[in-house]
Every structure is written in C-alpha cells, then in structure tokens.
Amino acid sequence: MTIILSIASITVLIVTLLPLWRHPHWIVRGLDFPRLQFASLAALVLLLQCLFVDTNDGMVRALMLSNALCFVWQAWWIAPYTSLWAKEVHSCKPNAEEQAISIMTANVLTPNRNAQALLDHVAHYQPDILVTLESDQWWETQLDTLTQKMPYSVKCPLDNLYGMHVYSRLPLLETEIAYLVEKDVPSIHGLVALPDGSKIRLHCLHPAPPSPTENAESGERDAELMLIARSIADCQHPVIVTGDLNDVAWSPTTRLFRKISKLLDPRVGRGMFNTYHADYPFLRWPLDHLFHSAHFCLAQIKRLPPIGSDHFALFATLSFNETPVQSQSGLEAEESDKKWARDITRQQDVAKKDAPQPGK
C-alpha cells in the first residue's frame, strides 16, 4: 500500500507541476483541463495515507505534504467557479424586453443526427441568438427550419468539424466569416442590433484544440484567443464572445484572454457549468464559453439537457445597460500579460489588425 500511494503521490506532483511550464505541447496544456479531478485525486491519496501508512516515516510525511500542497494549488484554480467565490457579474432581471439578450451556444457534433433535441431546446428557451459549432450542410438544412422565427443568419457549413452557424431573431449587421489563424478554422463576427437601436459586437469562436489528432501544440488556439482579446481591449462598445474555445475556464490562456480583453465571466462565483464531455460525468470541464463586457448583468445561465452531442448546450440571458456597470470588474492585466499575449500572436504571424472589428 505504501508503494502504491507513493507512486500516486509522485504522479499527482508531476501533473501539478507540468502545467507551470508554458510549453505549448498538447500533453502539457491538456493537464490544465482536469484540475478538479487532480484535486480530488490528491485529497483521496492524502486520506488513504493518513489511514493506511506509517505517518512517522519521513518520506511518507514529505509525500503527504506534497499531496496537501498539490490539492491546495489545484483547488485555487477551480475555486472561482464555485459558490465560495464572489460573483464577477451581478445578478439582475431585465426591466424591459428590449434590455435583454439571450444566447444559446451548442457544439452539435457533426455526425450527431439528433437535430430535433436542439430544435426542441430552441422552441422551449426561445433564444435571441443560436450559435452552433461543428454544424455541416446536413445540420444547416435542419436548422433552416428556424428561419421563420430567426430570419437573420450567418452560415458556414463545413465537414471538417469546424462548421459554424448563427441564427438570430435580432438583426445582424456587418457580419463576416474570418479565418483568423488557420485556413480551415472559421469564426463569425458582426453586430447585433437590439430593438432600442443599441448595437452589440458579437464574436463566435471555435479554435482547434491541442491534441494528438488535431494540432500538436496549442499555439494556433492561443493565438486566435489573443488576437480577439487584443482587438477588443480598447473597445468602448458592448461586446459578447461565445463559442467552444477548446480551453477550460481556469486555464492560464483563458485567464489571459480575460485579462487582455477586459471581459467578464458570468460563471465566476456561480459554478463550472461543465459542457464537455456529455457522456462521461467523471470527465467534465467547461469548454463552451460566454464572456461579455461590463455593459451586461446576468439574468440566467444554465447548462441544457443532452442533445446527442459530446457537448451540452449553454444558455444565458443577459440584461443590457447602455453604460458599463462600474461595480463589475474582472481580471487585471499586467505589462507581462500584455507582452505574453503579443508574443503568442507574433509566433503565429498574426496581428491585432487581422481581427474583424465590426462597428469600429
């Protein structure tokens, strides 16, 4: 038992320390994802050590201390996504219909053919905007049944797992499909016009993940996130960014995105809202995101029931204010953060000017 728990302790230490290395290889970056699982493992091993091994042994004590520190470190990253943390975005109820905007984001999984499940969600929740990821021509045909009630759309059907569609009840202006970093990975950008005439910048993203079957390193994903973050850093207009970012909410790169963009995460202080993997409850983390400027408060956010995909859909209703709510603030960027973001985009040979800036 001592040997087994010692090996487990060393494993916990390795998976905790490796992400401190900013190497972009998918193995290193992938260890950012299961921090909840690693924290649970560290706690379990520590408990078993207390119960079944000789705690008077110096090496055992060292490993127990290592487990305790690893647990604290892993828990620090995920704690903001629990009710123990202060809410980053205020809770509120829209005062009038024209002050609210609701968005449903769904990675449908291209081979999934259960379109009716998603259409039922749309009928029930009646989002103002539906954003789909991995939607190909078959999915477009199914989703086009929404056009009577959602007449505004941007369509980019692809069969490479990176198709993307936007359907909207609200007018979409200055829309653009852009291939920011990779020639086969699109993103959608534009303005959403509210009934009172206010315009909101919308960026829909789905960068490729670092993985053994996609990009070996995270450089392309990180560059797309930083490119958008830098492009909206000084934007005075209301902004919403949504999509499957193929990065967890607590990763260094997503935190860097929030710092540079100055956008808020409505999940902070409310919960993780894990949207992936729908089939494996013990392997879940938040991959699908919605970030917004301080012009919005949160009316509701929820993870929706399964739709046959490996992702759950995410639904949120935001209440719009013409001026930013000054009492809402997110993460602050330091000069080292700005340099890191510039370096990430420079390594992929993209620049701030390459990002669409509707409404500028």
Q: What is the pLDDT of residue 325?
A: 87
Q: Which residue bears the tokens 């950012």?
A: 32
Q: What's the chain's average pLDDT?
A: 95
Q: Which residue bears the tokens 């087994």?
A: 4
Helices 2-17 and 58-78, packing angle to 10 deg: 40
- For residue 56, the 8-state DSSP code is T
Q: What is the pLDDT of residues 62-116, one digit of tens each?
A: 999 999 999 999 999 999 999 999 999 999 876 655 589 999 999 999 999 999 9
Q: Which residue bears the tokens 């078959």?
A: 138
**Distance of alpha carbon 81 from alpha carbon 284, whole angstroms:** 14
Q: What is the pLDDT of residue 169?
A: 98
Percent of the chain with pLDDT over 90: 89
Which two three-digit tokens encode residue 58? 């110096």
Burial (Cβ within 10 Å: 0-12, 13-18, ≥19) of residue 318: buried
Please state the rounded mean pLDDT for residues 182-195.
96
Q: What is the pLDDT of residue 188?
A: 98
Question: Is there a contact between 345 and 128 (Cβ–Cβ < 8 Å)?
Answer: no
Please state the rounded mean pLDDT for residues 136-148.
98
pLDDT band at 298 (very low <50, low <70, confident <90, very high): very high
**Beta strand ranges found along the chain (DSSP E):** 100-107, 129-133, 152-156, 164-168, 172-178, 187-193, 199-205, 239-244, 288-292, 296-303, 314-320
- Would the pLDDT of 258 be above 60? yes
pLDDT band at 284 (very low <50, low <70, confident <90, very high): very high
Q: Which fold has domain 97-354?
A: Deoxyribonuclease I; Chain A (3.60.10)
Domain extents in the chain? 2-80, 97-354
pTM of the model: 0.94
Q: What is the pLDDT of residue 91?
A: 93
pLDDT band at 2 (very low <50, low <70, confident <90, very high): confident
Q: What is the pLDDT of residues 301-359, one digit of tens each?
A: 999 999 999 999 999 999 999 888 888 989 999 999 999 999 999 999 999 999 999 98
Question: Is there a contact between 346 and 339 (Cβ–Cβ < 8 Å)?
Answer: no
Q: What is the pLDDT of residue 237?
A: 92
**Beta strand ranges found along 281-342 (DSSP E):** 288-292, 296-303, 314-320
